[in-house]
Amino acid sequence: MRKKSLVWFRNDLRLADNPALAAGIGAGAILPVFVLDPAAKWGGASLWWLHHSLAALAQDCAARGATLILRRGDSTAIIPALARESGAAAVHVGRSHEPWLRGVDRAVAAALKSDDIAFERHRSALMFGPEQITNKTGGVYGVYTPFSRACFEAFTARPPIDVPERIDGIGDVASDALEDWHLLPTSPDWAGGLRETWQPGEAGAHKRLADFLDTGLDDYDKQRNLPGAPGTSMLSPHLHWGEIAIDAVWRAAEATKTKRTEGRQTFLKELVWREFAAYLLWHNDTLDTVPMRAQFADMPWRDAPDELGAWQRGQTGIPIVDAGMRQLWQTGWMHNRVRMITASFLIKHLLIPWQDGEAWFWDCLVDADAASNAASWQWVAGCGADAAPYFRIFNPVLQGLKFDPQGDYVRRFVPELAKLPNEIIHAPWDAAPDALHKAGVTLGKTYPRPLIDLATGRDRALAAYKSIGAASE
């Protein structure tokens, strides 16, 4: 007998390779639903992305005969009510690792059970259910390398699930209008750079993947650390919103013919870093606020709102840091190498709590992800799982010279320094007055002086880390 289902979209805004959707369609007619739940606390850039991604998904559903139902409010009330109203026998949903959804899922499951409606959660966003991967003693991995080994051994991407040709929708259910949610910025409209950079939605995700496999995969291992080169996939927001399945990306990377294997292998390892972050969040649901290593609660952080503001605006006077922060503001994304440099500068040179940086990234990133963001900030701070050692304090000048040797990246995002020669573009404060003059740079006027002397900041950070006993471990 054909049964009706409610398909609840969350971090899986796609039609291809969507097991929850396939299960619903396999049983009969479906009601596709997305709920804008205030408990999610998405940042501004995420809301911008969500608007466009939902518009694309709604269009893709409509082209196949179904209406995507949009509702705003408490998911624990809305989903059971819609399931009852539409006569669904089951609710199908992609499993999510985000802490706020755990309580939601428990409440929804209980409400549905009392109405005799099944609640079926499908593996969708991740390679595994986070509780599936355990170490030899059945415990939780705290270190990436053995975790990744276990993932590589156990994972086989599932075979493709095609986009359905037709979706038999359940009619006559009221929906909000997407425009009424006002997810896009109005005045000021800060999203111009985001519009130029991204095509949210499933089609944009597949295009991004195809481009990367064509031009980026082969030399990914060599190019991925150079922020001035288009050397990484830029798939992170598409993966975060589930516009493309992790299985689809993995399968495609494995199937692409390459001249060498190192590029592919390094890329697959990065996908496993994403998995590791989700795994850590699953086992530590306060990852975004509470340091995993307890003594970090006693770090002598500084309260320096002006310096935090200068960092946020890309006005620290350290070119590679400012380039990264401006890339973030303009495009909603920042290159991974520069995420590490800017985070290290905030936490270590400025001694500002990593949670303040995490919160800013959360608001500005189109790929803001509860797991990857929190785990990465803890990693840079030295208080997370498998974290960078406390004494590894990136020198932003040396990082710039190594990874942006021609200064292309700095010139793109800090145009006021564009005429400086390569040798001094990463440390204009060391340049001869004549060289600055020729390039039209006046420190303190056209470009800020550094917020801090780098050696002084480094010594202060090392002393702070020693004061909490980080050095004695």
Print the binding letters for residues 18-57 with ligand FAD: x by CB under 6 A, - otherwise: ----------------------------------------
Among 270, 363, 408, 416, binds ligand FAD (CB under 6 A): 270
d(C-alpha 214, C-alpha 204), whole Å: 15
The answer to whether residue 344 forms part of the interface with ligand FAD (CB under 6 A) is no
**Taking each helix axis from N to C terminus, what angle separates 319-331 and 396-403, rounded to the nearest 10 degrees?**
70
157 binds ligand FAD (CB under 6 A): no
234 binds ligand FAD per the rule CB under 6 A: yes
The 8-class DSSP code of residue 345 comes to I
| Residue among 48, 354, 362, 379 flagged as catalytic | 354
Stretch that binds ligand FAD, among 90-98, 143-151, 192-200, 226-234 (CB under 6 A): 226-234
Distance (Å, whole) CA 304 – CA 250: 43
Q: State the greatest distance between any 2 C-alpha atoms of the chain, in Å, as a whole number.
A: 83
**Cα separation of 243 and 39, whole Å?**
22
338 binds ligand FAD (CB under 6 A): no
Residue of 67, 199, 336, 395 interacting with ligand FAD (CB under 6 A): 336
Q: How far is the CB of 54 from ligand FAD (least distance, A)?
A: 20
6 close to 83: Cβ distance less than 8 angstroms? yes
270 is catalytic: yes
For ligand FAD, the binding residue among 224, 264, 411, 426 (CB under 6 A) is 224
Q: What is the DSSP string of 346-371?
A: IIIIS---HHHHHHHHHHH-TT--HH
Sketch the per residue contact string, 347 through 386, with ligand FAD: x for CB under 6 A, - otherwise: --------------x---x-xxx--xx--xx--x------
Tokens of 239: 């993966």
Structural tokens at position 355: 């949670």
336 is catalytic: yes
CB of 265 to ligand FAD, least distance (A): 13
Q: Nearest distance from residue 14's CB to ligand FAD, in Å?
A: 15
Asked whether 99 and 204 are in contact (CB, 8 A), the reply is no
Backbone angles phi, psi at 419, to 5 degrees: -90, 0
Q: How far is CA 264 from the centre of its chain?
A: 21
| Given 52, 71, 339, 348, the residue binding ligand FAD (CB under 6 A) | 339
Nearest-10 crossing angle of helices 44-63, 354-364: 30
Stretch that binds ligand FAD, among 8-16, 256-264, 334-342, 435-443 (CB under 6 A): 334-342
Cβ nearer to ligand FAD, comparing 86 with 331: 331
What is the length of the chain? 473
Letter string b/e over residues 153-166, b meaning 16 or more CB atoms within 10 A of that residue's CB: eebebbeebebbee
**Nearest-approach distance from CB 52 to ligand FAD, in angstroms:** 18
For the chain, the distance separating the N- and C-terminal CA atoms, rounded to the nearest angstrom, is 63
**Owner of token pair 């870093």:** 273
Q: Closer CB to ligand FAD, residue 367 or residue 404?
A: 367
Nearer to ligand FAD, 256 or 422 (CB): 256
4 contacts 28 by C-beta, under 8 angstroms: yes
By beta-carbon proximity to ligand FAD, the closer residue of 30 and 340 is 340
Contacts of 247 (CB under 8 A, 6+ apart): 17, 127, 157, 158
**366: closest CA among 65, 142, 47, 33?**
47
DSSP code at position 429:
G
Which of the residues 120, 273, 416, 429 is marked catalytic?
Answer: 273
> CB 421 → ligand FAD: shortest distance, Å?
29
Q: Of 42, 181, 190, 301, which one is the catalytic site residue?
A: 301
Task: In angstroms, give the least distance from the CB of 254 to ligand FAD.
Answer: 14
Q: What's the min distance (Å) between Cβ of 291 and ligand FAD?
A: 15
Residue (24 or 263) nearer to ligand FAD, CB: 263
Stretch that binds ligand FAD, among 90-98, 139-147, 231-239, 286-294 (CB under 6 A): 231-239
Cα separation, 385 vs 276, whole angstroms: 10
Burial 94-105 (b: 16+ CB within 10 A, else e): bbbbbbebeebb
Of the residues 120, 181, 190, 336, only one is catalytic, namely 336
Which of 198, 250, 282, 377 is an active site residue?
377
Cβ of 317: how many Cβ atoms within 10 Å?
17
**Of 92 and 349, CB closest to ligand FAD:** 349
Q: How many chain residues bind ligand FAD (CB under 6 A)?
A: 27
340 binds ligand FAD (CB under 6 A): yes
**Cβ closest to ligand FAD, residue 190 vs residue 273:** 273
- Contact residues: ligand FAD, CB under 6 A: 224, 232-236, 239-240, 270-271, 273-274, 277, 336, 339-340, 343, 361, 365, 367-369, 372-373, 376-377, 380
Q: List active site positions.
A: 270, 273, 301, 336, 354, 377
